[in-house]
Amino acid sequence: MAGDGYPLPFGYGDVARFLTGVVDLNRAGGAGFDDVAGDVARLGLPAGTPVLVCLSNGRRLLDMYFAVLLAGGVPLTVSPATSSARIAALATEVGAGAVVAARPDPARYGGETVVAVGDAQAVVLPARYRRTGVAGTVLMSTSGTSGLFSACLHRADSLVRNARRHADAVGLTGRDTVLVNLPLFYSYAIVAQALAALVTGARLVVSGPPFSPEAYEAAVGRYAVTSSSLTPTIARLLLAQGTRLPVGLRMLTVGGDRIAPEHVTRLRSANPDVELYVTYGLTEAGPRVSTLAAHREPPGRHGSVGVPLDGVTVSLRGAPPDGTAAELLVSADTVMLAKVGTRQAGRTLVAPGVVATGDLFRIDDGYLFFEGRLSDFVVVRGEKVSLHAVRQFVQSLPDVVRCSTHVGEDAAGTTHFDLEVGVTGGTDVARQRIRRAVDRFLLAGERPRDITVHEADLAVFQK
């Protein structure tokens, strides 16, 4: 029990043993978990106090995350690239008692001094700003779908339950070595990889971001990695470069955004010995919702994100009788308790344990097929345009690894949208090819006003 609150599903010894086995490719040495846990406890924050942890991927972040939990605090991991102004605003919104970073400037956060916590530092914030919550809970920020200054409040034990269900769905066991190259300050890596490794006994190897195909292959080979997770953007880049998955990898999961069915089929064809899982989830749901074991399914299901995990039920809100897409509702005992901070539209609790995803799905024989988001539809020159469909078409073109849409209005109030496309190879030729394909495939009212093309850059995390 962490203070007066929800019981933690692990003890100090469980965490210490797990962290001892973590391999950190970004940073050697540093303070041990005992030192970090002692320093966090000596901050003297009341049980249930949120603590922002702004550290890069690695053992140090995990040490701090678990130390805050075991001390009765409520951790919220934030990208260390986040501006101090945004961190300060988020700290105010959630009522944080401290901000932990490598070398924080206390004046930027409204504090006066810094206190050593391991080999990082904490700025203890004035008591008047704090809002004490409940021990045994965690705050998780989303990747941009729910606003800049809000986070999802979860029970720590429900996150561990979700991690175990995900591990069961993808066959993760204590014999596996899991490579984390996705950011631990988002829910996928912290739950589906770090917590999943904790509950199964798998070994954890932590690297980037940024992602490098060469470093990825080297890490898999050197540390006998058997389990890896990539975003669709990275998967498309590997396909565009003709790069096969490293030898020795037993299983790959792909999540964080939709991956086109043809890319799933190509991944399977290029890597026939690797188990391939396509997943769907959202931070609000705690976070994983469904999984497709693509290596066991026919190509006709490669456009699906599979079936719900055990303990998760789904339904379509206001599903039309013609079988077209409708908003997905997710019901589970891992759904967030509340949204903390600035109120946002979109993904919300509609009842205890039930979240409205804001995502449009159709369900065929129990399999979920993602069709877009409610916010993905705009009216341009009298035509209703599915921005999701436009992005998926462009991302199916050769050498394209990412496409985003940007909606705006001109001086007369007329709606338009632009495309921003990341490619491999020359940008001038690619822009002409993409423009020709878009003009040929889309109706006049569905076409973007402008197309910007740039070289794909994985030095920045992209979902």
Domain residue ranges of the chain, discontinuous segments joined by +: 12-140, 156-311, 381-455
3-state secondary structure of 371: strand
Q: Do domains 12-140 and 156-311 have the same CATH topology?
A: yes
Distances in Å between the alpha carbon of 424 and those of 90, 124, 214, 231, 236? Answer: 36, 45, 16, 17, 10
- Tokens 């490669």 -> residue: 302
Q: Find out if CATH 1.10.10.10 is the number for domain 381-455.
A: no
Distances in Å between the alpha carbon of 18 and those of 54, 62, 177, 463? Answer: 22, 10, 13, 28
User: Are the CB atoms for 3 and 48 separated by under 8 Å?
Assistant: yes
Q: What is the pLDDT of residue 145?
A: 43
CA angle, corner 225, sides to 219 and 230, nearest 5?
80
Q: What is the pLDDT of residue 99?
A: 97
Q: What is the pLDDT of residue 372?
A: 85
What tokens were used for 214? 């060469």
Q: What is the pLDDT of residue 460?
A: 57
Strands 50-54 and 98-101: parallel
- Specify which residues 323 forms β-bridges with: none
CA distance 83 to 80: 8
Q: What is the pLDDT of residue 251?
A: 98
User: Are the CB atoms for 401 and 392 separated by under 8 Å?
Assistant: no
Q: Which long-range contacts (CB under 8 A, 24 or more apart) does 365-373 make?
A: 366/307, 367/292, 367/301, 367/304, 367/306, 367/307, 368/280, 368/290, 368/304, 368/305, 368/306, 368/307, 368/308, 368/314, 368/328, 369/303, 369/304, 369/305, 370/258, 370/280, 370/305, 371/325, 372/325
Q: What is the 3-state secondary structure (H, E, C) of 296-323?
A: HCCHHHCCCCCEECCCEEEEEECCCCCC
Domain boundaries 156-311, corresponding CATH code: 3.40.50.12780
Q: What is the pLDDT of residue 240?
A: 87
Task: Give the CATH fold of the 12-140 domain.
Answer: Rossmann fold (3.40.50)
Buried-exposed string 33-43: b where 16+ CB fall within 10 A, e elsewhere: bebbbebbbeb
Q: What is the pLDDT of residue 50?
A: 97
Q: What is the pLDDT of residue 41?
A: 97
Other beta carbons within 10 angstroms of residue 388's beta carbon come to: 19
Q: What is the pLDDT of residue 3?
A: 44
Q: Quick one: how far is CA 345 from the chain centroid? A: 19
Helix (H) or strand (E) holding 222: helix 213-222
Per run of 10 residues, the mean pLDDT along the chain (length 463 residues) is 77 98 92 96 96 97 98 95 87 94 93 92 90 94 60 97 98 98 93 98 93 93 97 89 93 91 96 98 96 97 97 92 87 95 68 94 95 82 79 88 89 86 87 91 84 79 55
pTM confidence score: 0.86
User: Are the CB atoms for 132 and 340 separated by under 8 Å?
Assistant: no
According to DSSP H, which parts of 328-461 are helical?
387-395, 427-441
Q: Quick one: how far is CA 229 from the chain centroid? A: 11
